[in-house]
Structure 1
């Protein structure tokens, strides 16, 4: 459905048309641009917008089907941008991903949103309060959307960093469930990378187009600032993935060490119990010609030998940290 439909002239909101036809006519009459926001549109609704503003069929199909990576595509005078916003949920400590599709023309910008966030109404209010920026046209609105989405990545980075800190605590506290959490968090980080990494190419493409068209320097500086933020976020995400890989290696090593310690303990006790058994086996063979068989002190001597060898082995294993 259409959640907002407005016409802007010289950076000011001058009309709120009740239909797409009226929007198109108002834009032509006042030489402004239209900003139309759609939320979970049906095929019919998006088709009507596409017909009125001559949107490319392939891009419309992508906007309807979703599940797109961040990308920038040029169709004649219309630019199509697919974006992957992210949202960190504190209650479940999970990252959820959405989609925003933008159609950009000389006199219009159309946004298609499939999730409740990001709330693009906040972008609209902020842009309407910056008249001089909004005077630059639809490309300025695209900057505002990109800036909002990239800013929303910051809480995701903070949440992932906190999760990694908790994993490190679990890792050295001997929590055996940590391997599962490392795997799940690694999957989230990789999905986050797939959402953010292509955004660098998108912004670079937009900056090149702005430079070629001789766009306002202030706007170019703002796109450069967003691009710099994306680069830093990509670097942080790459670092998170490396940390998690190292954490998994450390966990494997610690598990191996714990198993070795268990094997040492079992082997030590087996040796301690085996020695008295060996002595008892020897003196239980009942041969007629055994030197100690008829010795009065033979029995206490055998017991003392068993005890002495057991204690001696126990002391030796303790000294070598096997027990």
Structure 2
């Protein structure tokens, strides 16, 4: 709704608040410049951008839709810029808060979103609300739309730096857990590590792409000389932020590598212990097999005499050798020879 739109006429004497009905008159006034801050790009806001400012339809469409990466388009009388700021969500999710800017000679139009419904309006309008507060208390007196844009983007970069600071605090806590041996749940710990890494990568991506946009903007021939210094300053700030993020990302990677080394070492120790245990079981199994061989061999040796005795002990009437005088000595000798033969055979095979 246009009732939520903030309109300020900024001159050397200060800033005055106005409504949408005053826009045509304010834009026709050559003194100072107009700042229009649109919290949500609804249908009314689209008509305002298209009919009052007559912005290009593709630029207006970019304000309606979520843009995944920063972008910049140069038009005849203004520059359109899309930037992002990070906002921490649940379970390590990083929300991209979008801020679109139309920077003209006598106006600055800022458009927020669209953002995830989980993001509060206070977070989405953080930079522009802070700029309005500084203008109201006299701490900010921008002379041009480019100067005001510089102040807003500088605040956005500070918020990105604060996000990196939050992630860095998480990284330090994770490092203390590793070095202190306090990691009790490896899976949850690894999740926290990679969430921190995701946060740093998100900010680094924002800083890298945004810095490239402002570096390109500084090369524009149509850029007024007075604005080139502020554009260069924003590009340098984004470059510095990228360097800070790279340093923290390398620091985090060191923590990840150290923890992975610990996991590898522990896995090696566990594997070695398991191998030793398997070897012990193998030796015990081999010794048991040898004992079984010996028992089986002696059982077979003693079974042969038992078999002979069982046969000659049968009380059948018509058995051969019942009346033989050498029957008993023959049976005894047969028992001994059978046992000796089996003993020799098992001994040769290594069972005894």
SS of the residue aligned with 1:151? Answer: helix
- After TM superposition, the structure 1 stretch with the greater mean CA deviation from structure 2, 273-282 or 180-189, is 273-282
Distance 2:214 2:243 in 1: 16
Kindly provide the CA deviation profile for residues 177-209 of structure 1, in whole angstroms up to 9, marking residues without a partner as x: 222223333333222222221111222234344
Distance 2:190 2:92 in 1: 16
Distance 1:179 1:92 in 2: 13
Aligned partner (choices 275, 280, 291) of residue 267 of structure 1: 275
1:321 aligned residue: none
Indicate if the aligned counterparts of 1:186 and 1:241 stay in contact, CA closer than 8 A: yes
- After TM superposition, the structure 1 stretch with the greater mean CA deviation from structure 2, 260-269 or 203-212, is 203-212
Whether 1:5 aligns to 2:4 is: no
1:164 aligned residue: 171
State the Cα RMSD in Å: 2.9
After superposition, where does 1:88-103 map in structure 2 within 5 Å? 88=88, 95-103=94-102
Indicate if the aligned counterparts of 1:70 and 1:84 stay in contact, CA closer than 8 A: yes
Q: Decide whether aligned partners of structure 1 residues 129 and 143 sit closer, same or farther in structure 2, where only a CA change above 3 A counts.
A: farther
SS of the residue aligned with 1:233? Answer: helix
Shift of 1:4: 0.9
SS of the residue aligned with 1:62? Answer: helix
1:143 aligned residue: 150
- After TM superposition, the structure 1 stretch with the greater mean CA deviation from structure 2, 234-243 or 54-63, is 234-243
Shift of 1:88: 4.1
Shift of 1:5: 0.9
Shift of 1:111: 0.7
After superposition, where does 1:106-145 map in structure 2 within 5 Å? 106-114=105-113, 116=121, 117=123, 118-119=125-126, 120-127=128-135, 129=137, 133-135=141-143, 137-145=144-152
Q: Decide whether aligned partners of structure 1 residues 69 and 281 sit closer, same or farther in structure 2, where only a CA change above 3 A counts.
A: closer
2:186 aligned residue: 176
Task: Point out where structure 2 has 5 or more consecutive residues left out of the alignment.
Answer: 116-120, 300-352
Indicate if the aligned counterparts of 2:77 and 2:104 stay in contact, CA closer than 8 A: yes
Kindly provide the CA deviation profile for residues 242-273 of structure 1, in whole angstroms up to 9, marking residues without a partner as x: 34444444444332322221121122233334
Distance 1:186 1:111 in 2: 31
Per the normalisation by structure 2, the TM-score is 0.70
SS of the residue aligned with 2:18? Answer: coil
1:294 aligned residue: none
Shift of 1:274: 4.1
Shift of 1:146: 0.6
Task: Point out where structure 1 has 5 or more consecutive residues left out of the alignment.
Answer: 290-323
Shift of 1:107: 1.4
Indicate if the aligned counterparts of 1:72 and 1:79 stay in contact, CA closer than 8 A: yes
SS of the residue aligned with 2:190? Answer: helix
Q: Decide whether aligned partners of structure 1 residues 272 and 246 sit closer, same or farther in structure 2, where only a CA change above 3 A counts.
A: same
SS of the residue aligned with 1:99? Answer: strand
2:18 aligned residue: 17
2:66 aligned residue: 66
Q: Decide whether aligned partners of structure 1 residues 225 and 78 sit closer, same or farther in structure 2, where only a CA change above 3 A counts.
A: closer
Indicate if the aligned counterparts of 2:204 and 2:242 stay in contact, CA closer than 8 A: yes
2:207 aligned residue: 196
Distance 1:244 1:167 in 2: 9
Indicate if the aligned counterparts of 1:127 and 1:141 stay in contact, CA closer than 8 A: no
Aligned partner (choices 207, 214, 217) of residue 225 of structure 2: 214
Shift of 1:58: 1.0
Distance 1:210 1:57 in 2: 25
Indicate if the aligned counterparts of 2:197 and 2:252 stay in contact, CA closer than 8 A: yes
